[in-house]
Structure 1
């Protein structure tokens, strides 16, 4: 069991949480063991996703009456951080699934909740196909048209289809009768074509490529009403902030995983340098200082994240009951942006700094230590941090609330 898991275990008294850790910690350890190998081969890990599903990861937030673990946000997110330490690609690949679970939890429609929670508890995974290349929020070339025989057909092309290659269901945004609506289609439906063509230098295995829909039959029951779900870009809510927390959990996990890997590297290393302060790196005070600084940064990233999630949990509880105010949601957005600044900067700095403990061997491909920096750098691009400090300052000085939604292609 990792030090993080041991620390969390000391705080756990709830049996479902303990049982979940007993099931999932070996899964996380197995995923971490082969992460570097998968990166080198660019091999999507369907087996890892299936193992996570079988161990209950994808249903940790699903209520117990449906067969899920029923964990609270603060109970659930340490699992996300630990998966991020093992392989951040899988956190991002399952991001759409995680966000969909939260949307189902917040939906008052009992039939909708029953339908989706039964699917998720049965092990079905959700991906997404929302963004179009060079698209603008609210403008979609992807459409659903009603045919003379009454069938509904989906046509279009999406990019950044995160996790869809692992998924059973794909959430799509499309124009339906003149308005942008959210809908769900089976990933294996005739006419659905998925391509692993994501070309980023990091998060290569997050299955974030192209999805093409060619005359895909859509069940009208799987289409949201106007203004609901993915198509709602006006009403204040916590969904956008929640989407950011998944990236922050992955970053906190990445710097934690890098800390562990570099500690292991130093313990095993025997070769030193002529100017070193000790005969072996594990006794070199300068090397040990670097590891201490990296560890402190990782601890700080996790502490900031845990504080944010506690605030999130309080606001979300009031949002579900309809008592939350716009001011509370704005403050949560700002807190998320503040956490983003700290966690992204600390993670990148610490991972980069960690390479100081080694020589040329630290940058060899078989070790694959570069994946920590590459993946952290790519995750820190979601979403551009340069705009967030201005928003924080405007909120503090002028009380200006962040926009309720944000997206690619336009100013909200």
Structure 2
């Protein structure tokens, strides 16, 4: 992992191994070739993956979300669901091309247009996480009617160009570069049903509650990795400090205190996180049944996710910094690459600046304003 982090770029070998092991179909029903795990069960595996390599977890974020999208669709959309679940059960991996650069909330600049009886896609996406590893790509666009349009296309379709230009200092292996679409022809069956796209206004949980829970799982995994690596480092040390409190660092009460404190914080954020998937699962089940939940319940779900962000992200960053106190200068060795944990956590936390979510939460608790569920940054709506 440390060597791959130093090298950067796109290495498909680990993703292919996860595909072969069945990780990409944990939630897919057994009848479609998956394991049929519950959402809480699947998230235990996801956190474990993030602890092993947070890059791989984030690279599969769109794939993970798309599976939940399919599973939460009501029966009247069975044709779309049954088109894709068997493919994922057979090993297909999905990436994303959703995010655009822009200066306002509004429409995606990427356009899905009807020409001579065919759907044609044109535009450019940034931060296309996982697309360099994917077989198919989720795309958010704007249709001829200026309404949101969602679709999924083959990553190797004519007119698709995937550029490996992600240059963040963390999460360097997530294949989060630029994707260009130039007159890409899209099959009718690969356009999401009208009104039931990635904007997900018709479903309560499939929105930021889903996407941010994946980020939170990845952050929790990073925290567990920091503690694992820190404990392993201390256990392997044969030197102590000249002003240390014990002859062996493994017996130094200050080192033990620090690791004990960090272990408690890891356990704390893991407990906070584990409370989310069961609630998400209840909302997904209601969506699949076509039930409309009370707005207060939906607001409570989003508030729970955003509140967890306010606790988990700062704690993970703190843990990833304090771990260096147990080792002195030798802990900064590039061979150990302990800094990758902080870099990865910092990049993940920066995807959704905490100050904005804190404001949303404050507006919710003080003024009863519903937490924002979905957003699009791009051009102003015409």
- Alignment partner of 1:157 is 2:124: yes
- Alignment partner of 1:99 is 2:68: no
| TM-score scaled by length of structure 1 | 0.87
How big is the alpha-carbon RMSD for the aligned residues of Structure 1 and Structure 2?
Answer: 1.9
Partner of residue 62 from structure 1, selected from 25, 28, 33: 28
Partner of residue 112 from structure 2, selected from 144, 156, 174: 144
Segments of 5+ residues of structure 1 without an aligned counterpart are 1-34
Q: Which deviations, in whole Å up to 9, do the C-alpha atoms of 1:166-207 show, x marking residues without a partner? A: 100011122222333011110011221111111211111111
Distance 1:246 1:154, change over 3 A: same
Distance 1:227 1:385 in 2: 30
Segments of 5+ residues of structure 2 without an aligned counterpart are none
Displacement after TM superposition at 1:43 (Å): 4.0
| TM-score scaled by length of structure 2 | 0.93
265-274 vs 129-138, which moves further: 129-138
Residue pair 1:138, 1:180 contacting (<8 A) in 2 also: no
Distance 2:316 2:379 in 1: 29
Displacement after TM superposition at 1:301 (Å): 1.2
Displacement after TM superposition at 1:136 (Å): 4.2
- Alignment partner of 1:223 is 2:191: yes
Distance 2:73 2:202 in 1: 17
201-210 vs 278-287, which moves further: 278-287
Match of 2:95 in 1: 127
Distance 1:207 1:319 in 2: 31
Partner of residue 341 from structure 2, selected from 362, 372, 388: 372
- Alignment partner of 1:360 is 2:329: yes
1:273-352 to structure 2, matched below 5 A, reads 273-321=241-289, 322-352=291-321
Distance 1:63 1:75 in 2: 14
Residue pair 1:180, 1:226 contacting (<8 A) in 2 also: no
Q: What is the aligned length?
A: 376
Q: Which deviations, in whole Å up to 9, do the C-alpha atoms of 1:352-404 show, x marking residues without a partner? A: 11110011111111111101000011111231211222332332233221133
Distance 1:230 1:380 in 2: 22
Displacement after TM superposition at 1:101 (Å): 0.4
- Alignment partner of 1:264 is 2:213: no
Distance 1:365 1:46 in 2: 24
Distance 2:342 2:329 in 1: 16
Partner of residue 81 from structure 1, selected from 47, 53, 57: 47
Answer 1 or 2: higher relative contact order, Cα 8 Å, separation at least 6. Answer: 2
